[in-house]
Chains A and B, each alone.
Chain A
């Protein structure tokens, strides 16, 4: 008889402590491409978030709750990512951090939306903020914001009338290329060479020779990292004369590492770059990242970092862990870096979740990207 009584009391006590403990952690579900073709982006995203979570917990957590980060590997498969977002939500995640690949995000954001779960994505395809989902927020400007900011460079600085575009044929490259062609049309500039290439392509002789034949005044290059590097190498080999301008990827540290001397002179418009170390927040982050992970961060790491910190800031602005209230707060929100230092740059989100932030024009000089101009937020 006593045994039953004892059992009941013990169970009650344990449940109570268990429940109390459950209240004390806030779960964040990080759903990202940790294997497959998206692995380089996903692992950087994750590592940026890890640094953020460490800092957040040192700062007392979110609303006095310790943050618990749970990782989910989508294997760069959209269907898997959808299942994992569902799993994360089932397992109690308050917010979802991920995914990066636009193809995956398009699918899994439906699940987050159905569950009123805030989701910070690293994707840049325009269509993500055009589907009327109030719970999705960017951590970097989409292509439809980034490329127009770049257009000014073509019209004002280069004064080009005929341009070419070299792009990688996946949803990332196609998205950027479509926006670029649209912008060029609006600016009255003719696109005389439209060169598509494959992901994981290694031989760019044909592509470069086509650009050489058409001879535009400048070329917009929009590919993933390795492809950009190989393209630059071939362009240098065949002595392609005109300036090569990219959006975000072309001047990344990895591309410069792979392309070596061939990257010299390449120009890109970047939302945020780990090399803009003049900005103090970015400099600190880059240093911490390099100390912890023994390699330089990419812009995906910064995206993850910003996403995690924004979750903390906004949840505390709202005052409770409520997805709907979070969404209301996010729309039209502007966070200044002076008041919220970990956001790194003054950032605003509009009612679709699209992000507005000042950006930079960089050019590769002596093997490192150097900021040559700043572009105000649009």
Chain B
């Protein structure tokens, strides 16, 4: 019994990180019509900003985190939008997708060449003391991760629904042309979207890298899981990303423990194909009509 509980709790902990990555991805897809294939690398990079700040500039951990956050928002938010998303978007969605794929490669290889090909340890924000819950062990960090993901979803949903800016962003997501006519500063809304995504990616990075260890290739698996979590959960709802992430984390652990270790990585993939076949809008998504 305690094994089941252990596996469930660990799955939720891992899943809450997937959720954070998936949320940003969903947001950018919806609000800026950008499918960001470099999302995984966006989560890999901020940790390295922190390591550089600590290693080369000698900053202590917390200020380094702040520096990492600011740099991420600048590079992955502003620069990404101005240099890549904005110029390429007029050429079409597919071109932009491919550009993000190339961007992913660029970020990954740059970290590998200019920092290191080997994994690096990364300090965790919260202590890692294990906590015993009915025989299952979780760390304080795990509980915080879960709390933070839930918190982010709540805050973001409130922001989008209750504030004026949030509603403008939603309008931009639903129909940019009409939103512009109605006086919404569409360009600015899109900028906000990218900034929020960059901040979320940085947050996810700081929470996950202590476990993942800072490595240039972290983006590969994380990115794939994020896409699947977003689609399975429902890509037009923020809650969908949360549900998708948690679901995948838990199911992955359950599969590995009780079914098969060798094919555990196949589960999210099969889930994706099944969902697309049966319920393409995702578990929590609402089906969309398409404008002509």
Does chain A touch chain B in the assembled complex, meaning CB atoms less than 8 Å apart? yes
User: Which residues in A have some Cβ–Cβ distance to B below 8 Å?
Assistant: 35, 37, 39-40, 43, 169, 195-198, 200, 202-203, 205-207, 209-210, 212-213, 225-226, 229-230, 233, 237-239, 254, 257-258, 260
**A229 & B119 in contact (Cβ 8 Å cutoff):** yes
Residue of A nearest to B222 (CB): A202
CA distance A309 to B252 in the complex (A): 48
Q: Lowest 8 A-B CB distances belong to which pairs?
A: A205-B10, A206-B256, A39-B117, A206-B257, A196-B261, A40-B118, A226-B119, A206-B253
Q: Known contacts A203-B253, A207-B256, A229-B119; is A212 also within 8 Å of B211 by CB?
A: no
Q: In the complex, which residues of chain B have a beta carbon less than 8 angstroms from the beta carbon of A213?
A: 3
Q: In the complex, which residues of chain A have a beta carbon less than 8 angstroms from the beta carbon of B11?
A: 205
Q: Which of B14, B117, B120, B220 contacts A203 (CB 8 A)?
A: B14
Q: Known contacts A229-B119, A239-B137, A257-B121; is A39 also within 8 Å of B257 by CB?
A: no
CA distance A230 to B109 in the complex (A): 23
**B137 & A43 in contact (Cβ 8 Å cutoff):** no
Does chain A have a CB within 8 A of B175?
Answer: no
Q: Which of A169, A200, A225, A226 contacts B220 (CB 8 A)?
A: A200
Q: Which of B11, B109, B213 has the most CB of A within 10 A?
A: B213
Q: In the complex, which residues of chain B have a beta carbon less than 8 angstroms from the beta carbon of A233?
A: 211
Residue of A nearest to B252 (CB): A203
Of the A-B pairs whose beta carbons lie under 8 Å apart in the complex, a sample of 21, sorted by A's number, is A39-B117, A40-B118, A200-B220, A202-B211, A203-B10, A203-B14, A203-B252, A206-B254, A209-B3, A209-B7, A210-B257, A225-B118, A229-B119, A230-B211, A230-B213, A237-B130, A238-B6, A254-B118, A258-B120, A258-B121, A260-B121
Q: In the complex, which residues of chain A have a beta carbon less than 8 angstroms from the beta carbon of B139?
A: 237
CA distance A198 to B256 in the complex (A): 11
Does chain A have a CB within 8 A of B112?
Answer: yes
Write the B110-131 contact mask toward A (1 if CB under 8 angstroms, else 0): 0010000111110000001010
Q: In the complex, which residues of chain B have a beta carbon less than 8 angstroms from the beta carbon of A39?
A: 112, 117-118
Interfacial residues of chain B within 174-222, with CB under 8 A of chain A in the complex: 211-213, 215, 217, 220-221
CA distance A175 to B109 in the complex (A): 30
Does chain A have a CB within 8 A of B262?
Answer: yes
CA distance A254 to B121 in the complex (A): 10
Q: A198-B265, A206-B261 are in contact. List 8 more A-B contacts (CB 8 A).
A: A35-B117, A39-B118, A200-B220, A202-B14, A203-B14, A207-B256, A225-B118, A238-B6
**A40 & B117 in contact (Cβ 8 Å cutoff):** yes
The minimal Cβ–Cβ distance linking A61 to chain B, given in whole angstroms, is: 31
The minimal Cβ–Cβ distance linking A171 to chain B, given in whole angstroms, is: 14
**A238 & B119 in contact (Cβ 8 Å cutoff):** no
Q: In the complex, which residues of chain B have a beta carbon less than 8 angstroms from the beta carbon of A203?
A: 10, 14, 211, 249, 252-253
Q: In the complex, which residues of chain A have a beta carbon less than 8 angstroms from the beta carbon of B220?
A: 200
**B262 & A206 in contact (Cβ 8 Å cutoff):** no
Q: In the complex, which residues of chain B have a beta carbon less than 8 angstroms from the beta carbon of A254?
A: 118-119
Q: In the complex, which residues of chain A have a beta carbon less than 8 angstroms from the beta carbon of B279?
A: none
CA distance A206 to B256 in the complex (A): 6
The minimal Cβ–Cβ distance linking B204 to chain A, given in whole angstroms, is: 13
Does chain A have a CB within 8 A of B167?
Answer: no
The minimal Cβ–Cβ distance linking A223 to chain B, given in whole angstroms, is: 13
Q: In the complex, which residues of chain A have a beta carbon less than 8 angstroms from the beta carbon of B120?
A: 258
Q: In the complex, which residues of chain A have a beta carbon less than 8 angstroms from the beta carbon of B262?
A: 169, 196
**A209 & B118 in contact (Cβ 8 Å cutoff):** no
Residue of B nearest to A239 (CB): B137
Q: Which of B3, B249, B252 contacts A212 (CB 8 A)?
A: B3
**A229 & B261 in contact (Cβ 8 Å cutoff):** no
Q: In the complex, which residues of chain B have a beta carbon less than 8 angstroms from the beta carbon of A196?
A: 261-262
Q: In the complex, which residues of chain A have a beta carbon less than 8 angstroms from the beta carbon of B119?
A: 225-226, 229, 254, 258
Q: In the complex, which residues of chain A have a beta carbon less than 8 angstroms from the beta carbon of B118?
A: 39-40, 225, 254
**B257 & A198 in contact (Cβ 8 Å cutoff):** no
CA distance A210 to B7 in the complex (A): 10
Interfacial residues of chain B within 261-280, with CB under 8 A of chain A in the complex: 261-262, 264-265
CA distance A190 to B202 in the complex (A): 47
Q: In the complex, which residues of chain A have a beta carbon less than 8 angstroms from the beta carbon of B252?
A: 203
**A209 & B221 in contact (Cβ 8 Å cutoff):** no
Q: In the complex, which residues of chain B have a beta carbon less than 8 angstroms from the beta carbon of A257?
A: 121
**B257 & A209 in contact (Cβ 8 Å cutoff):** yes
The minimal Cβ–Cβ distance linking B131 to chain A, given in whole angstroms, is: 10
Residue of A nearest to B137 (CB): A238
Write the B1-37 contact mask toward A (1 if CB under 8 angstroms, else 0): 0010011001100100000000000000000000000
CA distance A205 to B3 in the complex (A): 10
CA distance A198 to B137 in the complex (A): 23
**B3 & A226 in contact (Cβ 8 Å cutoff):** no
Interfacial residues of chain B within 116-154, with CB under 8 A of chain A in the complex: 117-121, 128, 130, 137, 139
Q: In the complex, which residues of chain B have a beta carbon less than 8 angstroms from the beta carbon of A195?
A: 261
CA distance A305 to B252 in the complex (A): 42
**A258 & B213 in contact (Cβ 8 Å cutoff):** yes
The minimal Cβ–Cβ distance linking B3 to chain A, given in whole angstroms, is: 5
Write the B88-120 contact mask toward A (1 if CB under 8 angstroms, else 0): 000000000000000000000100100001111
Q: Known contacts A209-B3, A238-B6; is A200 also within 8 Å of B217 by CB?
A: yes
Q: In the complex, which residues of chain B have a beta carbon less than 8 angstroms from the beta carbon of A237?
A: 128, 130, 137, 139
CA distance A212 to B137 in the complex (A): 12
CA distance A225 to B7 in the complex (A): 24
**B256 & A43 in contact (Cβ 8 Å cutoff):** no
**A37 & B121 in contact (Cβ 8 Å cutoff):** no
CA distance A203 to B9 in the complex (A): 12
Q: Known contacts A200-B220, A212-B3; is A205 also within 8 Å of B264 by CB?
A: no
**B221 & A200 in contact (Cβ 8 Å cutoff):** yes
CA distance A213 to B117 in the complex (A): 36
The minimal Cβ–Cβ distance linking B265 to chain A, given in whole angstroms, is: 6
Q: In the complex, which residues of chain A have a beta carbon less than 8 angstroms from the beta carbon of B212?
A: 202
Q: Which of A35, A39, A43 has the most CB of B within 10 A?
A: A39
Q: Which of A43, A198, A229 contacts B213 (CB 8 A)?
A: A229
CA distance A36 to B139 in the complex (A): 33
